[in-house]
Structure 1
Amino acid sequence: MKIGRYRGEDGAERLGLVLDKGGAVKVLDLVAAAQAHGKARDFARTMDAFMDGGRAMLDAGYAASEWAQREGDSKWLADEASVPWMTPLNVRNCIAGGRNFAAHRAETLEYWTKQGAKLHSEIPMGFVKLASVMVPTRSTIHRPEGCEWFDYEVEATAVLGKKALNVDEEGALDAIFGYTVLNDVSAREMQRKEMQNQSILLGKNYPGFGPLGPWIVTSDEVPDPSVLEVRLTVNGEERQHAYCKDMIFSIPQLVAHWSKTGLDRGDLVTVGSPEGVAIGRPDPMAFYLKSGDVVRAEVVQCGVLETFIA
């Protein structure tokens, strides 16, 4: 299922199930449907509780959805474009992958080597995206003062649904609740200075630098995450397009590796971005994000994360 969080009229979190109704995308108020279906007592009212409910809660969600589509009230459905989405979950931590697509690694190799980076693929490369910078789909984000090298990076993202400590690849897959989309927005001037100092933090973590969503596709619909397809467009022009089968480290390998930190429900592990970022272009200034740009980052099996640049 495709499930996300949105803000109800009372300001409280609601759970929305995304449905394709003959080409029109609708969002079902899943809690209202479950209440009418007679399952309200045990049904989760938040994404945290839904993830904690495991397979039983997922099955209850499917049952409520199927019943609502047969016998439900039309007032439980809304046009997707009118839904005030929140980030799809309360993010606990986000470990972001880097240089995990060979073509992207190659396009930036010369530049980052000049900054003192010594690149290898013995273990995954990663850094932290702060939970505080995460914003939902259709958010407007601002370039930091003095930033001209304002870059985009679409990333498929694994959402952890339970604890994972020192797990193998099979255990890693079992711990994944689902997948969503992150646009790893970057201030490259600051990142360049940090890389020279052998760090990455601020260049990836100005306010709003973590567009996330629009919702989660649950892992039962993606038994093999290597099939995930990622795309990114700016003002309708395709800039990035790749498949997760092209990664150096697979999603199970990434989660297993980072499980050494002690992952838990609400953690995100991103896979890194494919080739096509602005900094990897021969003429990067023509590709960096500018005021008025509309960025659409997509995991095809999940949905499109839209961001406006101010």
Structure 2
Amino acid sequence: MRLVNAAGRAALVFDGRLVDVVSASAGRWSARVHELYESWDTFSQWVRRNDAQLRARAVNGPQISDVRLAAPVPFPRQVFAIGLNYREHAREGGAEIPSTPMVFTKFPSAITGPTDSVVLPSQYVDFEAELVVVIGKPAEGVGAHEAWHYVAGLTLGQDLSERAVQTAPPKPQQYSLAKSYRGFAPVGPVLATPDEFANPDDVEISCHLNGVEMQRARTSDLIFDVPHLVEYLSSIVTLLPGDLVFTGTPSGIGWVRDPRVVLRPDDVLVTSGDRIGSMRNTFTRPTK
């Protein structure tokens, strides 16, 4: 299943065309995509049972390219993020390889859509392409062997980061605040269920800035893979339907390049992933 938030309405994607969930279900399911995660297993079963009818309906549906998409998870209750989860990324910043996941948060008010413009609060904003896990049902003490059963799907995210705030003393630095300015968590464009992938533990992601490739990796290179992260987080907190887990960024961030690369007004940042599609975010100066 591939699910999108099409201008505020939940829609399914079949061969590049959209099927409105409310219309196709005769009102059984909500138009508000975030409400679907509360009954994810039942909703997923309905989609599978009605696959043929939904595909037939999609033939006359609008093209996904003709609709403005919002974040497929617009109102997560919790947003977790994992730092230093690719070895080369840890090395490029001179950090030690972690022995347990390094966890911080991005506050939910930072969520924005896959084509939205983001206001740059300073000249120190960096990019971080990431695969994002969407939780599909409450998870407490989940073992890695069963973790994928608690995942609704995968999407893309940018862990945008204001590096001056992030690195300012005293220690420990303000990771969560530095990564939670308004619009600093673009998410989308599609939520793809694990069965959409040949191997959900091996998804290619990439990031291009103004047409130049900055990052490319496969999630099989993660130090702590998705099952490990779900196991670790759920051993401490309760994961809730619609929660997001940013799984970490690969090497290639702008802050450690020589010369340093930062985001500037009018820049175009394209973040892509297998079966998920591409986000295209632009950047502007503050209006005040």
- TM-score (norm. length: structure 2): 0.90
Instruction: State which of 108, 117, 122 in structure 2 corresponds to 1:131.
Output: 108
How many Å apart are 1:30 and its aligned residue? 2.7
Give the gaps of 5 or more residues in structure 1: 8-12, 114-118
How many Å apart are 1:5 and its aligned residue? 1.6
Instruction: State which of 161, 164, 172 in structure 1 corresponds to 2:147.
Output: 172
Q: 1:1-38, CA deviations, whole angstroms, 9 ceiling, x for partnerless residues?
A: 1101223xxxxx42111222xxxx32222321232xxx
Instruction: State which of 68, 79, 88 in structure 1 corresponds to 2:72.
Output: 88
How many percent of aligned residue pairs carry the same amino acid? 27
Q: Is the contact made by 2:270 and 2:278 (CA closer than 8 Å) also made in structure 1?
A: yes
Instruction: State which of 188, 195, 204 in structure 1 corresponds to 2:163.
Output: 188
Other-structure match for 2:281 = 307
Distance of 2:55 and 2:39 partners within structure 1 = 23
Other-structure match for 2:25 = 34
Larger deviation: 58-67 or 174-183?
58-67
Distance of 1:204 and 1:141 partners within structure 2 = 13
Distance of 2:103 and 2:58 partners within structure 1 = 45
Distance of 1:268 and 1:276 partners within structure 2 = 23
Other-structure match for 2:258 = 282
Distance of 1:254 and 1:127 partners within structure 2 = 13
Whichever of the two has the greater Rg, that structure is 1
Other-structure match for 1:10 = none
Other-structure match for 1:234 = 209
How many Å apart are 1:70 and its aligned residue? 2.7
Q: 1:174-232, CA deviations, whole angstroms, 9 ceiling, x for partnerless residues?
A: 11110011100011111111574444122111111110111200123247422111101
Q: 1:119-161, CA deviations, whole angstroms, 9 ceiling, x for partnerless residues?
A: 45121012111111100111010110xx222210010011001
Q: Is the contact made by 2:130 and 2:159 (CA closer than 8 Å) also made in structure 1?
A: yes
Distance of 1:303 and 1:190 partners within structure 2 = 31
Q: Is the contact made by 1:159 and 1:176 (CA closer than 8 Å) also made in structure 2?
A: yes
The one-letter code matched in structure 2 to 1:134 is I
Give the gaps of 5 or more residues in structure 2: none
Instruction: State which of 39, 42, 67 in structure 1 corresponds to 2:53.
Output: 67
Q: Is the contact made by 1:87 and 1:134 (CA closer than 8 Å) also made in structure 2?
A: yes
The one-letter code matched in structure 1 to 2:108 is A
Distance of 2:161 and 2:278 partners within structure 1 = 19
The verdict on how the C-alpha distance between 1:87 and 1:170 changes in structure 2, with shifts beyond 3 A counting, is: same
Q: Is the contact made by 1:34 and 1:64 (CA closer than 8 Å) also made in structure 2?
A: no
Q: Which is helix-richer, 1 or 2?
A: 1
SS where residue 172 of structure 1 aligns? helix
Q: Is the contact made by 2:126 and 2:163 (CA closer than 8 Å) also made in structure 1?
A: yes
How many Å apart are 1:69 and its aligned residue? 3.4
Q: Is the contact made by 1:26 and 1:79 (CA closer than 8 Å) also made in structure 2?
A: yes
Distance of 1:191 and 1:95 partners within structure 2 = 17
The verdict on how the C-alpha distance between 1:66 and 1:184 changes in structure 2, with shifts beyond 3 A counting, is: same
Paired residues, what number?
282
Other-structure match for 1:247 = 222
Other-structure match for 2:117 = 140
The one-letter code matched in structure 1 to 2:218 is Y
The verdict on how the C-alpha distance between 1:72 and 1:120 changes in structure 2, with shifts beyond 3 A counting, is: closer
Distance of 2:170 and 2:277 partners within structure 1 = 32
The one-letter code matched in structure 1 to 2:88 is A
